């Protein structure tokens, strides 16, 4: 195969999703290019793609019997390969897919809408999961938060309707109940709705409340995890959250309370070998640092504030519980920020690797 001059045929590069097979050939001119294209195609085709083809093969006879109008049949197939049924098969929920097909066939009408609650990660678009990206290409309408970077929203299907639903502390463009109601009504219209949230939907993201509303209305949904800010910011700041020399555990804490108060009761936060990560902690940062010292933490405990982690504007301010509030006050800090407290912060100086950001 490496001597094209001696060959009377060429071997293409294959993407095998049996019974679906794609082959890429450069007719022997550029095997490397064919391999590169193949690896890109591999990423675009989920592993279960072949199962969809097998299922469609099984259904051909029954569908032809049931839907005799060719145009209607074509629409049925189109909805099937690009709708909730394919999603169910890709998610490994084939039994549900079959039930769904039976119901759709029975009424030979359109399919129900669905909501995909998707974590978009902390900012860098390269940190999206393949599943998130795939659903972003399929959704008819996208509801997104302020924390989702415009570059990520841009990756959604070009003709998808985009709805900004805001969310900044104490300034919600749409109250949570209205967001829940909007999801229910859009899916009720039969639309495929992408609910795109910063980080991970289940970590300080109120994703649970949104899918509770969907479950109550019997709207089908899927949830796609995302890289949460703690994981993304810590990695890009070179702060291994549970480095064995410094920590045995890590705790994610909200720095924002409804009543505005931050309290540290008893010895709950005194474990020197536990890394603390505060989300939404910028406003209360002086209270958090003071509160921890008053509760008994050593004022020299290392602490870092990561601003706009994983983006080109990332910046890391490093100090201690005693010094960080003044350091932060003397910089023009921009949200979102994440506060990391514990011995692991000392590793930042040695392990910082991300060139997109600055360190002070
Ligand atoms: C409402 S919470 C949402 C958290 C999100 N669900 C997650 O898993 O990352 C918003 C907080 O996440 C943190 N955050 C999100 N993205 C961040 C980023 N790129 N850099 C620093 N902090 C971030 C900030 O503390 C911000 O106030």
What tens digit of pLDDT does each residue of 290-322 get? Answer: 999 999 999 999 999 999 999 999 999 999 999
pLDDT confidence tier of residue 225, bands split at 50, 70 and 90: very high
Mean pLDDT over the full length of the chain: 89
Question: How remote is the CA of residue 348 from the centroid of ligand 1, in Å?
Answer: 20
Distance CA 109, CA 88 (A): 19
Q: pTM to 2 decimals?
A: 0.74
Q: How far is CA 322 from CA 304, 325, 326, in A?
A: 12, 7, 8
Tokens linked to 218: 């019997």
The stretch 138-164 carries a mean pLDDT of 92
Question: How remote is the CA of residue 232 from the centroid of ligand 1, in Å?
Answer: 10
Question: How remote is the CA of residue 274 from the centroid of ligand 1, in Å?
Answer: 20
Q: Which residue has the higher pLDDT, 40 or 359?
A: 40
Q: Is 200 in the pocket of ligand 1 (CB under 6 A)?
A: yes
Specify the pLDDT at position 258.
66
Q: Is 241 in the pocket of ligand 1 (CB under 6 A)?
A: no
Q: List Cβ neighbours of 198 (8 Å cut-off, separation of 6 or more).
A: 119, 120, 121, 122, 123, 145, 146, 147, 148, 205, 226, 229, 336
Of these residues, 124, 131, 138, 145, which one is catalytic? Answer: 145
Judged by average pLDDT, the poorest of 143-147, 263-267, 287-291 is: 263-267
Specify the pLDDT at position 305.
98
Specify the pLDDT at position 354.
94
Asked about 334 being catalytic, the answer comes back as: no
Of these residues, 167, 259, 268, 334, which one is catalytic? Answer: 167
Specify the pLDDT at position 69.
73
pLDDT confidence tier of residue 1, bands split at 50, 70 and 90: low
Q: Is 118 in the pocket of ligand 1 (CB under 6 A)?
A: no
**pLDDT one-digit tens code per residue, 230-260:** 999 999 999 999 999 999 999 999 998 766 6
Rg (CA), the chain: 25
Cβ neighbour number for residue 123 with a 10 Å cutoff:
26
Judged by average pLDDT, the poorest of 49-53, 230-234, 273-277 is: 49-53
pLDDT confidence tier of residue 201, bands split at 50, 70 and 90: very high
Dihedral over Cα of 346, 350, 356, 359: its sign: positive
Asked about 27 being catalytic, the answer comes back as: no
Specify the pLDDT at position 164.
93
Q: Which atom of ligand 1 is the closest one to the Cα of 339?
A: 25
Nearest CA to ligand 1 atom 10: 280
Q: Is 320 in the pocket of ligand 1 (CB under 6 A)?
A: no
Nearest CA to ligand 1 atom 22: 337
The stretch 332-352 carries a mean pLDDT of 97
Nearest CA to ligand 1 atom 12: 279
**Residue 311, class by beta-carbon neighbours within 10 Å (0-12 exposed, 13-18 middle, 19+ buried)?**
buried
């Amino acid at each position: 195969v490496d001597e094209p001059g001696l060959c009377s045929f060429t071997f293409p590069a294959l993407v095998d999703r049996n019974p679906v097979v794609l082959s890429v050939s450069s007719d022997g001119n550029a095997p490397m290019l064919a391999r590169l294209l193949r690896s890109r195609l591999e990423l675009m085709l989920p592993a279960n793609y072949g199962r969809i083809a097998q299922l469609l093969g099984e259904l051909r006879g029954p569908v032809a019997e049931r839907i005799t109008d060719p145009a209607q049949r074509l629409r049925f197939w189109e909805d099937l390969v690009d709708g909730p049924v394919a999603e169910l098969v890709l998610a490994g929920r084939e039994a549900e897919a079959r039930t769904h097909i039976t119901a759709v066939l029975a009424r030979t009408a359109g399919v129900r809408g669905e909501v995909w609650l998707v974590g978009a990660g902390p900012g860098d678009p390269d940190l999206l999961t393949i599943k998130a990206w795939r659903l972003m290409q399929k959704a008819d309408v996208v509801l997104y938060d302020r924390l989702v970077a415009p570059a990520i929203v841009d990756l959604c299907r070009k003709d998808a309707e985009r709805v900004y639903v805001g969310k900044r502390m104490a300034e919600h463009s749409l109250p949570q109940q209205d967001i829940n109601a909007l999801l229910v009504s859009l899916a009720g219209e039969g639309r495929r709705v992408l609910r795109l949230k910063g980080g991970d939907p289940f970590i300080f993201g109120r994703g649970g409340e949104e899918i509770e509303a969907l479950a109550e209305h019997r709207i089908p949904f899927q949830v796609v995890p995302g890289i949460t800010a703690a994981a993304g910011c810590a990695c890009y700041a070179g702060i291994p959250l549970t480095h064995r020399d410094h920590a045995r555990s890590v705790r994610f804490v909200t720095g924002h309370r409804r009543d505005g108060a931050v309290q540290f009761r008893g010895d709950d936060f005194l474990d020197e070998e536990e890394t603390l990560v505060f989300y939404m902690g910028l406003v209360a940062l002086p209270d958090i640092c003071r509160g921890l010292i008053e509760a008994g933490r050593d004022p020299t405990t290392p602490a870092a504030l990561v601003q706009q982690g994983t983006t080109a504007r990332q910046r890391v301010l490093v100090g201690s519980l005693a010094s960080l509030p003044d350091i932060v006050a003397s910089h023009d800090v921009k949200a979102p920020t994440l506060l990391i407290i514990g011995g692991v912060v000392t590793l930042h100086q040695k392990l910082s690797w991300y060139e997109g950001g600055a360190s002070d």
